[in-house]
Structure 1
C-alpha cells in the first residue's frame, strides 16, 4: 500500500529534515520525493507559492515547513500537554529558527565582499549569543529544550543542526556540552537512528 503522506523537497537536509525526523520518530511511512536543483526552475511554477517543501495527504497539498513540522509533531504526540507547554515548545523552535535565518542571511549573501563583512559579527557575536542561551535552556530543562521532556523542539534542532553547521562552516555546538548530549539522545532514539542510517545521501 502506498504511503499516506508525501514530502517533496530538495535533495538536502535543511528545512525538510525536521519533517522527516518527526515522521520517522512516529514510524509513519512517507514518500520522500527529492528534487535536484536543476529540476526546480521547471517545477517551481506548478507549486502553490513557488517554494518547497510540499506536504501531501489524501489529495491535499500544503506548503510552509514550520506549519508542516508542527502538524507532524501533533501526529507523533511531541507537542505540549497543555497550551502553555505548547507555547514553551513553539518559543524554543522559533528561537532556533531565528538563528537559522541569521546564519542563512550570511551564507546566501551573493555579494562576496558584503558576505565577508558579515562573518565576523555572526561568528563572534550572534552565534555565541544564541548558543549560550540555548545551552542554558537545555540545562534548565533536564536535558531538553522545553517542558523537561522530549518534544518536537529537540528533534527540530538536531535535524537542522547539520544544515546550520554546513552554512556556517563550523560545529555550532562544539563548546556546548548540554546541546551535545541532547544531540546524542535524539540520534539514539531507535526510529531516528534507523532513519539516519537509511536516508539517502543528499548534497548536505
Structure 2
C-alpha cells in the first residue's frame, strides 16, 4: 500500500480539497501543517519552494490543482471515462475563475480599488460564476452532483469554494449549488472531517 504525506499551512486555503479527498476515500495520510514561523526553515527543502506538497512513497510533488486531480483519479472521484472527466474539468475551470477574482481583490493594496473589486465580485462576478454552476447542475438532472449521481472532484471543489465565499453569497438564489453543497456536507466521511478538522481562520 502506498504511503501519503500532505504538507501545507495550518489553513484550509489551497490544501483543503486534497484533505477532503483523503477523507472521502478513507485513506490514511500524514497531515503535516506549517505556520508562518516554521515555514521559512522548510521552504528550501520544498520541491518548488511553495506548498502544498504531496509525498507518495517518499517522492514529492507540487501544485495544488495537480495534487487534487491526482488524488481524485487515484481514489475514483474523477468520473467514469473521458467525457465525465471533461465534465469535472469544466467545473474546476469555473471555480478557478472565482478564485482568480477573489485573489485579485485580496492582494490589491489600494484600499479604494480593493473595495471596488470586492463590490464587483459580490454583485457581478460571483453571481455570474455561480449561475454557470447552477446551469451545469441542472444539465446533470438536478441530482445534487455535477457528474452522474455521486460525488466527484467537481462537487468537492465547489463545496470548498462555497465555504470560502459564503459571507458574500445568498445561496438561496442558487438552489442547485446549495443542494450540491448539502450533498457533500451530508456525506458521513466529509461530515466527520469537517467536524474534527483543526480550527483555522481560512
Fold-level similarity (TM above 0.5)? yes
Whether 1:89 and 2:110 are equivalent positions in the alignment is no
CA distances 1:101-126 after superposition (whole Å, capped 9, x unpaired): 11111112222232122222222211
Aligned to 1:37: 36
- Residue 75 of structure 1: CA displacement? 1.9
Gaps of 5+ in 1: none
- Superposed CA RMSD: 1.9
User: Quick check: 19-28 or 110-119, which moved more?
Assistant: 110-119
**Matched residue, 2:156:** 155
Q: Conserved in 1, the CA contact under 8 Å of 2:88 and 2:153?
A: yes
For residue 45 of structure 1, report the CA deviation from its aligned partner: 2.5
Deviation for aligned residue 1:78: 1.1
Normalising by structure 2, we get a TM-score of 0.90
Aligned position for 1:202: 200
Larger RCO, structure (CA 8 Å, separation 6 or more): 1
Among 179, 182, 198, the residue aligned to 1:181: 179
Return 138-147 or 30-39, whichever deviates more. Answer: 138-147
Q: What stretches of structure 1 move > 6 A for 4+ residues in a row?
A: none
TM-score, normalising length: structure 1? 0.90
Deviation at 1:174, TM superposition (A): 4.4
CA deviation after TM superposition for structure 1 residue 202, in Å: 1.5
Q: Which runs of 5+ in 2 are unaligned?
A: none
> Aligned equivalents of 1:164 and 1:39: distance in 2?
28
Shift of 1:147: 4.0
Aligned residue for 2:129?
Answer: 130
The Cα shift of 1:48 comes to 1.6
* 1:172–1:14 Cα change, 3 Å: farther
The equivalent of 1:21 in structure 2 is: 20
CA distance in 1, matches of 2:63, 2:125: 26
SS of the aligned residue for 1:56 comes to strand
